[in-house]
Structure 1
């Protein structure tokens, strides 16, 4: 028989079991306001949206150096809920399995009464989108996702309070259920990466070895190209293409200058294999600039800078929007189609040949990189006859379509599993699903 429910009186919580109570957060949890002064630990912790609380050293190359002076940092204990006062609305909250120093913008919460409070239950409650969204309006700030929530306000947030036994049962149930779901998610994500690697291998094999089966080969003389068919040649891109830079933003004009508004492409619009037109910016230019920086169907768009793995990525512009300009951080490469097809160049930039070349020749900072028009034109490429380029492009398109369908299917499964995880946690921690 289904247990009796009652209205909690709180919109985001909804109905709860009759035996549950509603209390303010401050009556259940208290803040650990322990400052790392004098220095108690040099172990720095970081809070991430997808991995929770982790050692700063495991955060990866984020381009941010940890502070040397830790005297202003707070202390997090094992078992504390760590909450980012400025980012909790977008999910920056998690249970700490470590002892260490954390940023002053974090709050550490622990039970007021260990006999009545299972901290893991409240960690699960705080993971729900409903709880996070309920905090909108509590913060102070200009940007909604960067609103600092004062502890005095956070203490007033109303939370469901099951019995300690129910909290423990809920925690055990969710631990087991989410463990199975996370294993499935991990396998699905690994499968997606394997399909992506296979797609990359298919492209690289096709643009360097062709699609005509066994044949005589020769050394290209380029390490990252390797052997190519005897009938092919290798050449620098400058011998079969020209390159054009785009318009520089922020230019000032005289008041009497005649200007026209045009859409233009930024680095963010140039994705691997396609142009993303969902967020298209516009710019006012002179008629002469409009003609000078206008894209033409068949141009291969290549990025000048950005993340290292995306540097030099290319895609063919098919005149999706006419007229359209491009920013100076996006190169427009126009190939001589009698010797080099735009689509073949696109696949070359996506292959290991392109990835290796642009990574080796890039000017690199911590996690960003940039190239130049001269380096793009110096790109040494394997060059089959145009007739064979047509065959290769057709083959890659067909195989990529097949693999993209499999990848999309797996990505949809990931979305469904993540959605199910969130709904499961919410239903269980608010008592709508009995365990």
Structure 2
């Protein structure tokens, strides 16, 4: 049994007697190297999920920021890169790249080249360490969700405060053993995670294909077909009509009530009170110019993010920005909703866009009104919606289970890292 002693630090507890407790500033030095004159135009990004990556590989896409990169700092392979604003939510990682980063990032490396930078990076990956940073930051905005996760933390931690924190320091040979062990174990966990995520992505694609197929072809594979005259629909059942939106949809502008909360249409298609999801990260309008009322059951199309699937049926009464199109129809609203989502998934909206920003398009009522919609008889619309709802419900149940598996793996990975970098367990 390994001899331990009390650290006197709440997040750390007991640690091996042959280890040291040292302030971070005596273990790691900060690299403050400006990209001026410009040595690289490769902008790096840091996320809790992806670590340090080139900006154009960031999930969700996006172009490189159009900024003067001479104001950026340089990061080298082997640097621990830390976002001083978001370390509480896990924005810290080990760089494999040479590039430049925003001035809000800190770059750290060991004072002694023989020490293993991976070991220190793993310490900073632990949730226990990250949570210990509460109270160190300037400009705090912290929201904790019901599952214990933190949302949109904007909290700049000064380097002098960060450097004054104590961390456990293993002997150099043990640092390498721990880092090698965790590299191998984390790679196994990451491979499992990637496989499960691929399964989730496949199910999400299946959901989209079911929507697209049924809202344009119907449920009867033997139905007589005809050319719809609409490029993105192709052939559709012969007894269906292709009708412009202005003949089947009505654009609504409802009054706002005094006690209305703010409604948002999210990219996953949920239309709900903002307070039901999260309120941090949104900009609130003081004057609320042009705000409109929304009722439960209203069909809503986001004028800026509809291209990405922000199309749904409201589950709440409230008010919303005029960027949301509120629509009424005598057709089955969910059928119309699914058709519009089908267009989003097929990038039809992007193809039609005049484009005012990257990966966006302006979906005002005048555009929605001129689009052609395949319109089956109402009873067939109802059957199509029932089928889609059923398929999506079953797929979502499987997806929820797989997301729970991802959460379990993530928790296991973090606990494994914590146990070894604090000496609770020993690499034999």
TM-score, shorter chain, exceeding 0.5:
yes
Contact residue 8 and residue 16 of structure 1 kept, 8 A: yes
Q: Which runs of 5+ in 2 are unaligned?
A: 143-152
What secondary structure sits across from 1:173 in the alignment?
helix
Answer yes or no: is 1:261 the counterpart of 2:253.
Answer: no
Report what 1:135 is aligned to.
Answer: 133
Contact residue 23 and residue 159 of structure 1 kept, 8 A: yes
Deviations, residues 48-76 of structure 1 (Å, cap 9, x unaligned): 33222223343474355243451x43332
Report what 2:148 is aligned to.
Answer: none
What secondary structure sits across from 2:334 in the alignment?
helix
Structure 2 distance, partners of 1:316, 1:40, is 51
Contact residue 224 and residue 356 of structure 1 kept, 8 A: no
Is the alpha carbon distance of 1:430 and 1:261 closer, same or farther for their aligned partners in structure 2, counting shifts above 3 Å?
same
Report what 1:344 is aligned to.
Answer: 335
| Offset of residue 92 of structure 1 | 1.9
Report what 1:152 is aligned to.
Answer: 160
| Offset of residue 332 of structure 1 | 2.0
What secondary structure sits across from 1:368 in the alignment?
coil
- TM normalised by structure 2 equals 0.86
Answer yes or no: is 1:201 the counterpart of 2:206.
Answer: no
Deviations, residues 315-347 of structure 1 (Å, cap 9, x unaligned): 234xx55x54443222221112xxx21121122
Answer yes or no: is 1:367 the counterpart of 2:365.
Answer: no
Give 4+ residue runs of structure 1 displaced > 6 Å after superposition: 280-285
Answer yes or no: is 1:400 the counterpart of 2:392.
Answer: yes
Structure 2 distance, partners of 1:280, 1:74, is 33
| Offset of residue 280 of structure 1 | 8.9
Contact residue 357 and residue 379 of structure 1 kept, 8 A: no
| Offset of residue 353 of structure 1 | 7.0
Answer yes or no: is 1:56 the counterpart of 2:27.
Answer: no
Contact residue 73 and residue 101 of structure 1 kept, 8 A: yes
Is the alpha carbon distance of 1:352 and 1:194 closer, same or farther for their aligned partners in structure 2, counting shifts above 3 Å?
farther
Work out which of the residue numbers 324, 332, 335 in structure 1 matches 2:326: 332
What secondary structure sits across from 2:305 in the alignment?
strand
Report what 2:24 is aligned to.
Answer: 25
Contact residue 24 and residue 167 of structure 2 kept, 8 A: yes
Structure 2 distance, partners of 1:349, 1:246, is 22
| Offset of residue 173 of structure 1 | 0.9
Report what 1:253 is aligned to.
Answer: none
Contact residue 123 and residue 417 of structure 2 kept, 8 A: yes
Work out which of the residue numbers 378, 382, 391 in structure 1 matches 2:383: 391
Of residues 386-395 and 53-62 in structure 1, the stretch that sits farther from structure 2 once superposed is 53-62
| Offset of residue 175 of structure 1 | 0.6
Of residues 178-187 and 213-222 in structure 1, the stretch that sits farther from structure 2 once superposed is 213-222
Larger radius of gyration: 1
| Matched residue count | 408
Report what 2:67 is aligned to.
Answer: 67
Contact residue 246 and residue 328 of structure 1 kept, 8 A: no
Structure 1 distance, partners of 2:227, 2:127, is 57
Report what 2:200 is aligned to.
Answer: 192
Is the alpha carbon distance of 1:92 and 1:271 closer, same or farther for their aligned partners in structure 2, counting shifts above 3 Å?
closer
Is the alpha carbon distance of 1:395 and 1:38 closer, same or farther for their aligned partners in structure 2, counting shifts above 3 Å?
closer
What secondary structure sits across from 1:225 in the alignment?
coil
Structure 1 distance, partners of 2:116, 2:278, is 49
What secondary structure sits across from 1:146 in the alignment?
coil
